[in-house]
Chain A
């Protein structure tokens, strides 16, 4: 499988997950967007040494994963994208911040190690929040939410149209990559002699495709505006879900649940 096929696989996996029918899937996209953003903001607001406080923030997303029937494992597969980057920045922390903060059985743990771990945990938690949003919300619902939030129509339409063609383009490039490889055994990438023409050829074909697409729009009476399916309005269930999530997250942010639980056992 080449890189593009991996990407296609991931795209269709997300589509399949978003097509579910759990109570979370049925919520208004606006609710889920609010919850995800709130969760991320609260996670990011934790101090860099507040490892145990952060740990408790995992509880609510994990519960939501279970209610929505999204396997946590599919989310963690995406960590391979997030973690290396976060690690690259965080890994040097133990080198600079060496002041010991904590002793575990005679081993001193420095502040740098703790800030590195909390940084990684933040990465995981933020990923969980946005993954949950996307795994329970099809792109068209999300775009509907964005329209409700008065994001300019031009941008939202562009996002939808682009999403529609991302899979198509990726598939075409996957086929081209395979065709290239079959004729260039042992090459890891595109040889310098084909740097321009490989993508260039597809680019020219894409321009023709765009022209066809525009024709198709014109032929069906396009005058610069798009009409979308009606989305379910924001209801009482949504209000309740928003309030509930906000309360739980605020509680987890304000009270260090992990610390409290730990005290029960350590004292």
Chain B
């Protein structure tokens, strides 16, 4: 789910940086206030572990495919939301800086999509209420079930939120022609499946930790203290609200395009757009009519208007001379490379 730089407009990237930066600032403030900076070594080692752990392939029983683990829920269950969030930021930064996974500009968005939801929403709205609730009765078995429930629900919900944010950010950036609703209809179900697997893997790890060193998990004491029915009600209420938000938003979008992606992909053809393609091509050369038409269709099919830079949208650069020029540029780039190689060789020889 790592966004690449290319998928974001600078303005969107900046907004996401501001949002993630604020969350990071608050987290740091909180950690300092609680004098939790001594957790620094644990945060670093755990972050490094999660970074490596994300590369493990987990075989999904009954299928040939494999799943991975998400860090957010695991880290916040182990370190608490603030420390977990900062650890996730660092993991994403290492991935972006050294592995080109995500981008420098997209880091803010990636932190928001993957770390913010996983750590804060996952912890405060899912992990803590469920661990404190009276679900599954009391005792060791009940706690284990609660860990599993919290991990699975947490991963699914936070991944849904993350995926939805990816859709919003990409659409706002005016990158894809894919209509908003269709994009969401494509992303959300995929991430439902991914979230389920991630949740199960995360719960397996957390249950293992619970059985060997329960003191490492957050909110277990509170759970042992046995919270009452009230918090169960709160949990359900919160989950219901969340489900409504996500589901409602989704269905609203989906209803705009009754059959989602299918409609989006083939509906245009039925609407007669393909006939346009059959018309005399010359009419659709490089005239503004074509561009207008493109814009019109885009307006019609996307829920959000096109946010791309209006001025540069005019296909001024898209001419034959532009193509020839691009080829020249490529040639020049190649020449620079060759020249660099030549000078290096001479330097080495000297």
Contacts and interface: CB of A to CB of B under 8 A. Distances in A.
Direct contact of A and B (CB under 8 A): yes
Interface stretch (A23-31, A184-192, A232-240, A243-251): A184-192
A64 to B, nearest CB: 10
Interface in A111-156: 111-112, 114-115, 119-120, 122-123, 126-127, 129-131, 133-134, 139, 142, 152, 154-155
Contact of A204 (B179, B212, B294, B327): B212
Interface string A86-117: 10011011011111111110001001101100
B193 interface: no
B309 to A, nearest CB: 5
Interface in A46-91: 46-53, 55-56, 58-59, 62-63, 65-67, 69, 72, 78-79, 81-82, 85-86, 89-90
Given A44-B105, A161-B40, A261 B205 contact: no
A195 interface: yes
B267 to A, nearest CB: 11
A66 B337 contact: yes
Contact of B170 (A89, A188, A207, A262): A89
Given A67-B340, A266-B320, A158 B176 contact: no
Interface in B9-33: 9-10, 13, 24-25, 28, 31-32
A184 to B, nearest CB: 10
Contacts of B31: 154
Contacts of A195: 58, 200-201, 204-205
A120 B24 CA distance: 31
Contacts of B38: 214, 224
A202 B298 contact: no
Interface in A157-197: 157-159, 161-166, 168-170, 172-173, 177, 187-192, 195-197
A203 B28 contact: no
A260 interface: yes
Nearest to A94: B177
Contacts of A58: 329-330, 333
Interface in B84-142: 86-87, 89-91, 93-94, 96-101, 103-105
A231 interface: no
Contacts of A228: none
Band of interface residues on B: 35 or more
A85 B2 contact: yes
Nearest to B335: A62
A166 B48 contact: yes
B29 to A, nearest CB: 9
Contact of A55 (B9, B46, B174, B326): B326
A16 interface: no
Contact of A163 (B37, B94, B179): B94
Contact of A197 (B90, B208, B315): B208
B205 A200 contact: yes
Interface string B43-61: 1111111011101111111
B34 interface: no
Contacts of A111: 290-291, 294, 315
Interface in B234-272: 264-265, 268
Given A204-B213, A206-B49, A104 B290 contact: no
Contacts of A163: 94
A11 to B, nearest CB: 6
B44 A164 contact: yes
B45 A165 contact: yes
Given A101-B286, A111-B315, A188 B4 contact: no
Contacts of A242: none
Contact of A101 (B2, B315, B324, B343): B315
Nearest to B339: A66
Given A72-B337, A266-B324, A40 B2 contact: no
B40 A263 contact: no
Interface string B264-303: 1100100001001100010011100011011001100100
A58 to B, nearest CB: 5
B86 A96 contact: no
A224 B31 CA distance: 13
A55 B205 contact: no
Contacts of A154: 28, 31-32, 37, 40, 86
8 contacts: A50-B318, A55-B330, A63-B336, A81-B100, A81-B101, A158-B43, A166-B52, A263-B325
Interface of A: 3-4, 7, 10-11, 14, 36-37, 40-41, 43-53, 55-56, 58-59, 62-63, 65-67, 69, 72, 78-79, 81-82, 85-86, 89-90, 92-93, 95-104, 108, 111-112, 114-115, 119-120, 122-123, 126-127, 129-131, 133-134, 139, 142, 152, 154-155, 157-159, 161-166, 168-170, 172-173, 177, 187-192, 195-204, 206-207, 209-211, 213-214, 217, 224, 256-263, 265-267
- Ranked 9 nearest A-B pairs via Cβ: A66-B340, A47-B312, A262-B325, A200-B208, A52-B322, A258-B325, A189-B57, A196-B204, A196-B208
